[in-house]
């Protein structure tokens, strides 16, 4: 209609405006009523910002720290110090790749034991210097390979969970994409656990759940519904502390707005948590996770 108006000099501005309003309303209605499986797909969108995208766009002087001082540097787990409006923060998170070469290097965001041990080393470093910790979670799970199990995958994740409960500095954990199984939980014990609007958090992915229960991936949509893995579900169960709003259509639609919104939320949470004593934060953290779930006798 706009092209027609330009070529014929006919005034159709009212009709164009009415259509644009209708399109916007349809978008709002569509994204407000996405199924759980559609949320999973949106969390995996190839243009969605990853951990390093958030870190580099939120901080002024990020310095990445490498290695676990035991085996090697796991490229699937990244971390280091960065400054948010003058506040020094330790960032740790899983990093995926944009193309085939990067995905291989980052192991599709699936960390090995040395990745979780690197994360723990950075947590302890932040604690030593009294700096708050922010973890950005985006992983389809910890790497399930034989070599990972040989190097103690389960022990590394379990140790992280135990140690994170006792960290004396504020800890904020944010699911920015996929939050699957122990791979996510290994860096997700914090004073605040937040989820972005179009993310998921569960003990297993819908595809893996479908393959176990039905011996096929064809039932992944039913599995997603049964798992109740969206941010709204998690908040309803009391398993997270809040949901971070995304632009209409997902974080990739307006990354700059998303970086700004997330940065403001992190600074607000740090300010609130810093007002508490370390012992108060630790006790509150332990009580929060201890009270999760229901026991039926």
Task: Kindly tell me the burial class for residue 196, based on how many C-beta atoms sit within 10 Å of its own C-beta (0-12, 13-18, 19 or more).
Answer: buried
Q: Give the whole-angstrom CA distance, residue 20 versus residue 167.
A: 51
Task: Kindly tell me the burial class for residue 39, based on how many C-beta atoms sit within 10 Å of its own C-beta (0-12, 13-18, 19 or more).
Answer: buried
Say what the pLDDT of residue 19 is: 87
Q: Is the pLDDT of residue 3 over 80?
A: no
pLDDT level of residue 10 (50, 70, 90 thresholds)? confident
Q: Do the Cβ atoms of 185 and 204 come closer than 8 Å?
A: no
Alpha helices in the chain (DSSP H): 2-8, 13-32, 36-43, 51-58, 100-105, 113-128, 146-150, 153-165, 181-185, 206-214, 220-227, 231-236, 255-274, 278-290
Say what the pLDDT of residue 16 is: 81
Q: Is the pLDDT of residue 23 over 90?
A: no
Q: Is the pLDDT of residue 66 over 90?
A: yes
Q: Is the pLDDT of residue 4 over 90?
A: no
Instruction: Please state whether 112 falls in left (phi above 0), alpha (psi between -120 and 50) or beta.
Output: beta
Structure token pair of residue 253: 């639609």
pLDDT level of residue 22 (50, 70, 90 thresholds)? confident
Tell me the pLDDT tens digit for each residue of 103-151: 999 999 999 999 999 999 999 999 999 999 999 999 999 999 999 999 9
Say what the pLDDT of residue 294 is: 80
**pLDDT: is 5 or 221 the higher one?**
221
Q: How far is CA 106 from CA 48, 52, 126, in A?
A: 16, 12, 24
Q: Is the pLDDT of residue 102 over 90?
A: yes
Q: Is the pLDDT of residue 2 over 90?
A: no
How many other C-beta atoms lie within 10 A of the C-beta of residue 215?
9
How far is it between the farthest Cα atoms of the chain?
76
Q: Give the whole-angstrom CA distance, residue 46 versus residue 38.
A: 14
Structure token pair of residue 284: 């509150």
Task: Give me the mean pLDDT over the 71-79 stretch.
Answer: 96
Phi, psi of 128 (to 5 degrees): -60, -40
Q: Give the whole-angstrom CA distance, residue 132 versus residue 81.
A: 10
State the pTM of this model: 0.90
Q: Is the pLDDT of residue 20 over 90?
A: no
Say what the pLDDT of residue 75 is: 96
Mind giving me the DSSP string for 199-254? -EEESS-HHHHHHHHHSSGGGHHHHHHHHT-BHHHHHHTT-SSEEE---TT-GGGS
Tell me the pLDDT tens digit for each residue of 174-200: 999 999 999 999 999 999 999 999 999
Residue with tokens 């001082």: 69
Tell me the pLDDT tens digit for each residue of 211-253: 999 999 999 999 999 999 999 999 999 999 999 999 999 999 9
Say what the pLDDT of residue 293 is: 85
Structure token pair of residue 227: 């798992």
């Amino acid at each position: 209609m706009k092209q027609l108006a330009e070529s014929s000099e006919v005034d159709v501005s009212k009709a164009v405006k009415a259509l644009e309003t209708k399109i916007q309303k349809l978008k709002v209605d569509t994204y407000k009523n996405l199924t759980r499986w559609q949320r999973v797909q949106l969390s995996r969108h190839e243009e969605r910002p990853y951990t390093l995208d958030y870190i580099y766009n939120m901080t002024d002087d990020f310095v990445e720290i490498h290695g676990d001082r035991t085996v090697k540097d796991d490229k699937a787990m990244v971390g280091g110090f960065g400054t948010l409006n003058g506040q020094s923060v330790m960032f740790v998170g899983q990093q995926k790749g944009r193309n085939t070469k990067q995905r291989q290097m980052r192991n599709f965001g699936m960390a090995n034991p040395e990745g979780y041990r690197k994360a723990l080393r950075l947590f302890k470093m932040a604690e030593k210097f009294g700096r708050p910790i922010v973890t950005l979670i985006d992983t389809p799970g910890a790497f399930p390979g034989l070599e990972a199990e040989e190097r103690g995958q389960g022990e590394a994740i379990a140790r992280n969970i135990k140690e994170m409960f006792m960290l004396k500095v504020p800890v904020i954990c944010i699911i920015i994409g996929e939050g699957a199984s122990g791979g996510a939980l290994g860096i997700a014990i914090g004073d605040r656990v937040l989820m972005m609007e179009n993310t998921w958090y569960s003990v297993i992915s819908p595809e893996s759940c479908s393959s176990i229960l039905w011996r096929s991936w064809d039932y992944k949509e039913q599995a997603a519904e049964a798992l109740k893995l969206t941010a709204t579900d998690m908040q309803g169960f009391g398993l997270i502390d809040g949901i971070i709003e995304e632009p209409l259509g997902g974080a990739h639609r307006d990354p700059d707005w998303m970086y700004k919104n997330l940065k403001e939320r992190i600074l607000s949470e740090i300010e609130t948590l810093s007002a508490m004593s370390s012992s108060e934060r630790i006790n509150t953290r332990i009580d929060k996770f201890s009270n999760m779930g229901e026991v039926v006798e």
